[in-house]
């Protein structure tokens, strides 16, 4: 008797399944305006995942990088920068004004932020993923807004 109940239950489960798959969110097409505030996350450079924080002043179009916490897996203090940024459709460009802590070493110079990046994804309006380069030279930032 239990065998028949299991078969009936199985038949209902199969017929009750809907094979229609809802489409996911539209891919990012730009233009993007970053909400001001501080974003924390990680950058992957040369196969290493490093933590960092970037604060954006949307009125002056300036940015400042900060260490995002403890000393483990942080972007080197000597690699953190201060400068200007611009967003042109889906391109994110960072221009260096100065290094934040110029007396500290930067052991991984590729991790310096200044340069032109492509915005590859925006999640919930408060997270942004941007990258530049290809292969071994690929650098990807995964940033989420943490405070205004």
pLDDT in tens, 77-89: 999 999 999 998 8
CATH 3.40.50.720 fits 34-147, yes or no: no
Q: How far apart are CA 118 and CA 89, in angstroms?
A: 9
Q: How far apart are CA 66 and CA 73, in angstroms?
A: 14
- Name which of 119, 143, 148 is nearest 53 in CA terms: 143
Q: How far apart are CA 117 and CA 130, in angstroms?
A: 6
Q: Are 56 and 36 in contact (CB under 8 A)?
A: yes
- Name which of 145, 139, 107, 141 is nearest 127 in CA terms: 145
Q: How far apart are CA 100 and CA 106, in angstroms?
A: 11
Q: Are 113 and 98 in contact (CB under 8 A)?
A: no
Percent of the chain exceeding pLDDT 70 equals: 79
Q: How far apart are CA 87 and CA 42, in angstroms?
A: 20
pLDDT of 50: 94
Per residue of the chain (148 residues), give pLDDT as tens: 544 443 443 344 344 444 444 444 455 566 677 889 999 999 999 999 999 999 999 999 999 999 887 778 899 999 999 999 999 888 999 999 999 999 999 999 999 999 999 999 888 878 999 999 999 999 999 999 998 8
Q: 0.85 exceeded by the pTM?
A: no
């Amino acid at each position: 008797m239990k065998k028949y109940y299991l078969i009936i239950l199985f038949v209902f489960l199969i017929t009750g399944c809907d094979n229609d798959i809802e489409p996911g969110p539209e891919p990012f097409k730009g233009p993007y305006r970053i909400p001001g505030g501080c974003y924390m996350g990680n950058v992957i450079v040369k196969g290493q995942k490093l933590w960092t924080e970037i604060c954006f002043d949307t009125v002056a179009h300036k940015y400042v990088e900060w260490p995002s916490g403890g000393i483990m897996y942080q972007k080197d203090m000597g690699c953190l920068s201060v400068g200007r940024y611009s967003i042109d459709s889906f391109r994110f460009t960072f221009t260096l004004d100065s290094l934040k802590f110029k007396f500290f070493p930067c052991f991984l110079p590729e991790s310096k932020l200044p340069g032109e990046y492509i915005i590859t994804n925006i999640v919930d309006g408060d997270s942004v993923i941007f990258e530049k380069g290809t292969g071994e030279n690929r650098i990807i930032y995964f940033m989420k807004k943490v405070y205004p």
